[in-house]
Every structure is written in C-alpha cells, then in structure tokens.
Amino acid sequence: MHLHNRIDRKVLKQQIQESAEERITLSFYQYAHIGNPSLFRDHLYLQWSEIGVLGRVYVATEGINAQINVPEQSFSEFQERLKTITFLKGIRLNIAVDDDSKSFYKLKIQVKKKIVADGLSDETFDVTNKGVHLQAEEFNELADDPNTVIVDMRNHYESEVGHFENAILPDVDSFREALPEVENILQDHQDKNIVMYCTGGIRCEKASAYFKHKGFPNVFQLEGGIIHYARQVQEKGIDNKFKGKNFVFDERLGDRITDEIISRCHQCGAPCDTHTNCRNEACHLLFIQCDSCAKKYNGCCSSQCQDFVQLPEEEQKQLRKTKQQKRNVFRKGRTNHLKH
C-alpha cells in the first residue's frame, strides 16, 4: 500500500473545489515524547486516509502538529480514532471560525526534526515545562492589567492583518527569528506578566516554556490561541480584544474574526487584508492584494510577473529553472517591487 498521495495536486484541488461535500476544518497539536515518529506517521496515514481526512501534519520526537479537514459525516469516527492514541485522548480540537470546506485538498503527513522549528540546540530546555494557560476571560483580565505585556509570537505577515490590542508585534519572518527578537524586547519587562499568543497555541506554548527556561517568572499563554479565543468570545458574549483577520496556513489564508480591516494592499495602499500568492509560480510571493490590483495585475505581484505568466507554458517552465526567476521565493510581503 502506498502511504502517500499519488494523484496530481491540480486534479485534487479541482475535485475539492467542485465538491459539495461538507468538511470541518480544524487544528490541534500536542507536545509529547514519540519514540518512532516514522512508524507513528504511517499509522496516522492509514487511519486517516480511510475516512477521507485531508491536510498537513507534522510528526517529530517532540509531538504532533496537525492542520486538517474532515468530512462532516466522518467526524465522529475521526474523534473515536483519536481516542485510541493515548497522548491524544481528550485533545482540544480548534475548529475553524470561518470555514468554506475548501481548506485542504490532499493528506500530507511528514516526519520532521521538530513540529515547530525553533533553531535551538539547548538540551536542557524542556518544552513540556510550559507557561500558565489562559482562557479568553482570563486573557482579557490580564490584558487590562497595566503590569502585563502581550506578545504576538507569529510572523509579521500574520500580525499585519490581525492582532490583539496593544500587543508587541515582532518584525520577523519565522518563529526561530522570533525567540531571540522577543527575548531582547522583554529585557526591560522581566517582572511583568508576559502573555503570549499565536494562531492555535503551538508556538506560544513552546515560547512560554522557553521564556520560563530563560528565567522569566510570570509567563502565560492563550489557551488554543486566536482560534479558541474567537470561539469563546462568540459563545460567551465577552469582549473581543482581537482586531481583524486571523492568518491561517491553508487554502483560505485567513479566518475573519472581526469586520475591521487594519492592513493595506501592498500594491496600491487601499484598505485590504486579503493575502494571495503571486500567480507566477516562479515567484509565488505571499502578499496582500485588493480586488482592483488583482484585476490590474492578473493576480501577480508586479508587472514583471504579469508579463511572465503571459509567456507560453513551456517557456515559463524553462525560465523557472533559472536563479533569477526564483529570487522572490520566501520573501513574503517585504519587497520594494510591489510599490508602483
């Protein structure tokens, strides 16, 4: 049996886009000691592919990080199968707030060195010695305390479209960059309440453990991240201190939390919080683009990329192999050529 997808990704994506099947998008993570990640990976693939689970899953010796969607009719079966895995019994599932059932189109489970790349090599660091978890109401109470510092542990392109009021927003591209940057920022706040948050909890949980390890005495994290917070706000009718959109790492690229638009189109400067990837696959830059600019540039980040996608497909394929055409990969929204 082949324990990976063998169908062309474009075919899979089209099938999902055309499907009327209702799916539930969710995420979960758990830090745990896994002795044989490869064996565990294969077990998950067999279990989940049988019931139509799609998504992106990372497995490592330190635990599991899953972002998936499940057919609505198979959701109960999926929960039962989770219960058969000891360290996942009772796991909190972060159900997406703004779900269109099109978040993923294939199942991809990978074995990684870590489920969250952190760049650390300190063997004395115990990721399970985490900070105090906060529910939404507790988070709000601490947020109103003048002795509290709120830190967004996400990347700059995530916080750009949505974040909590008065939060510190590190100007970083990755979590491994965030740890030293935040440590430097917090040097003058050693004795304050350090409250961290991220999308679903996995990064701020590791960060909270890291800053406890570094000697910060009062470290907290938002339980379940922005996703769980938004659901609690809806269900309990409490004050929502998050503004804008929650960036997510799937086909949707965002969960609408509030109607406020706090960011701008990277091309024309109009109010906008819609992320997109440049249509030029040799570039594929992630950036914010309004509908007007999407039409003007044909879904591309620049006139250069717009010209590129007009070339015959075979010529595009040859040019994609050149270094010049790959320069903008992974540069995210930070690039001068977006301004016209």
- Please report whether residue 253 resides in a domain: no
- Compute the half-sphere exposure of residue 261: CA atoms within 13 Å on the CB side of its CA: 12
Cβ atoms 248, 254 nearer than 8 A: yes
- Please report whether residue 125 resides in a domain: no
Same domain, 186 and 98: no
Please list the active-site residues. 198
Mean pLDDT by 10 residues, the chain (340 residues): 66 71 92 93 95 95 94 96 93 84 87 92 84 96 97 94 96 92 93 95 94 94 95 94 92 90 94 93 89 95 91 84 52 53
Same domain, 144 and 240: yes
Same domain, 171 and 235: yes
pLDDT score, position 99? 72
Which of 234, 220, 209, 226 is CA-nearest to residue 141?
Answer: 220
Cβ atoms 14, 188 nearer than 8 A: no
pLDDT score, position 128? 83
Looking up residue 189, the CATH number of its domain turns out to be 3.40.250.10
Which of 280, 302, 306 is CA-nearest to residue 289?
Answer: 302
Give the three-class secondary structure for 288: strand
CA distances, 21 to each of 16, 57, 281 (Å): 8, 22, 29
Total domains, the chain: 3
Q: Which tokens is 261 given?
A: 């638009």
Same domain, 106 and 142: no
Element (H, E) at 256: strand 255-256
- Please report whether residue 263 resides in a domain: no
CA distances, 311 to each of 44, 277, 285, 305, 306 (Å): 42, 19, 19, 10, 9
Q: Which one of 111, 146, 170 terminates a domain?
A: 111
Rounded Cα distance between 241 and 136, Å, is 10
pLDDT score, position 205? 93
Same domain, 105 and 141: no
Looking up residue 59, the CATH number of its domain turns out to be 3.30.70.100
Residues 151/155/156/162 CA torsion (nearest 10 deg): -70
Same domain, 104 and 136: no
- Please report whether residue 38 resides in a domain: yes
Same domain, 96 and 21: yes
pLDDT score, position 327? 45
- Please report whether residue 170 resides in a domain: yes
Same domain, 236 and 319: no
Same domain, 237 and 146: yes
Element (H, E) at 243: strand 242-246
Same domain, 218 and 169: yes
Torsions phi, psi for 331 (to 5 deg): -85, -5
Q: Which tokens is 288 given?
A: 């914010």
- Please report whether residue 34 resides in a domain: yes
CB burial of 155-170 (b: ≥16 within 10 Å; e: otherwise) equals bbbbbbbbbbeebbbb
Q: Which tokens is 203 given?
A: 């990064």
Query: ∠ at Cα 269 (263, 275), nearest 5°?
Result: 50
Q: How many CB atoms lie within 10 A of CB 329?
A: 14
Strand arrangement of the beta sheet that strand 193-197 belongs to: 132-134, 219-222, 193-197, 148-152
Q: Which one of 244, 264, 283 terminates a domain?
A: 244
Rounded Cα distance between 69 and 103, Å, is 7
Give the three-class secondary structure for 60: strand
Domain membership of residue 190 as a residue range: 132-244
- Please report whether residue 147 resides in a domain: yes
Same domain, 202 and 162: yes
- Please report whether residue 328 resides in a domain: yes
Rounded Cα distance between 295 and 279, Å, is 12
Q: Which tokens is 13 given?
A: 């994506």
CB-based contacts of 164-169 (< 8 A; 24+ apart in sequence): 164/197, 164/241, 164/242, 164/243, 165/241, 165/242, 165/243, 167/197
Same domain, 67 and 150: no
